[in-house]
Amino acid sequence: MGLAISVGILADLIENDPESAQHFEADFAAANRKLAEAGLPPHVEPRTLPPLESRAPLDGLPYSFIHYLRRAYAHRVTTPGWIATPLPEDTDPTEDETLEDVAGMFESHLLCHSDAEGFYLPVDFEEVIFAEEDDTDLPGGMLGSSYRLLEELVLVAPALGIALSDGELSDEEAARIADSMGDDEGLYREIESWLLLYESARLSIAHKTAIVFT
């Protein structure tokens, strides 16, 4: 089992699994209630989409991988110019003090999100939206913005040796990263997580579709 990350899920389910589509429509309704409470416009999840072409050659990760990326982001945001090096195999990234400190500020959309479920929406808002204790129908209990997620991924990219041009990933650099996947060496956990999330955020914003963790 691992974390699946997708875009365009409702359009896909309407075509292939209408019963499950109804479940997600209820989840999007819950997300829209939280947007409304925050004074934000609703998200209208597309019911039809063209083929979404991701440059990431994967659609899921082991649950632990995203924590390595989160640790790298926390260090980069607190120490500009910080460059990541691989953690020893017996080190748990969730126990990193810098990660704990930055996550505890509850400001980062990358850090403040469920590891296993929930949405990033293509709605431009600054603060992570949290469910109340008695509000149990929002998947994951937190709602992030695809725009803020993309910004945070751009910030951490140099720490991982990823070259961007004006904040954008070229096809050549995406292909270079994709070709290195499967080597299980170096910063592979951070980089695989980064590419999947970057491509998800890019497609989310371009096609106005949610990023869904399941």
Q: Note the pLDDT tens digit of each residue in 153-187.
A: 999 999 999 999 999 999 999 999 999 988 889 99
pLDDT at 183: 83
Give the mean pLDDT of 89-112.
97
pLDDT at 1: 67
pLDDT at 135: 83
pLDDT at 133: 85
Cβ proximity of 204 and 210 under 8 Å? yes
Distance CA 38, CA 32 (A): 10
pLDDT top residue among 35 and 136: 35
User: Is residue 69's pLDDT more than 80?
Assistant: yes
Phi-psi category of residue 22: left, alpha or beta, with phi > 0 → left and psi -120 to 50 → alpha: alpha
Alpha-carbon torsion (71, 73, 75, 78), positive or negative? negative
Query: How would you class 87 by CB atoms within 10 Å of its CB: exposed for 0-12, middle for 13-18, buried for 19 or more?
Result: middle
Find how far residue 38's CA is from the centre of its chain. 21
Q: Note the pLDDT tens digit of each residue in 54-65.
A: 999 999 999 999
- Three-state DSSP at 42 gives coil
Distance CA 116, CA 125 (A): 22
- Tokens representing 159? 């720490």
Instruction: Tell me what the pLDDT averaged over the chain comes to.
Output: 96
Through-space distance between the first and last CA atoms of the chain, rounded to whole angstroms: 11
Give the mean pLDDT of 104-113.
98
Q: Note the pLDDT tens digit of each residue in 132-159.
A: 988 889 999 999 999 999 999 999 999 9
Least reliable range by pLDDT among 33-37, 178-182, 196-200, 202-206: 178-182
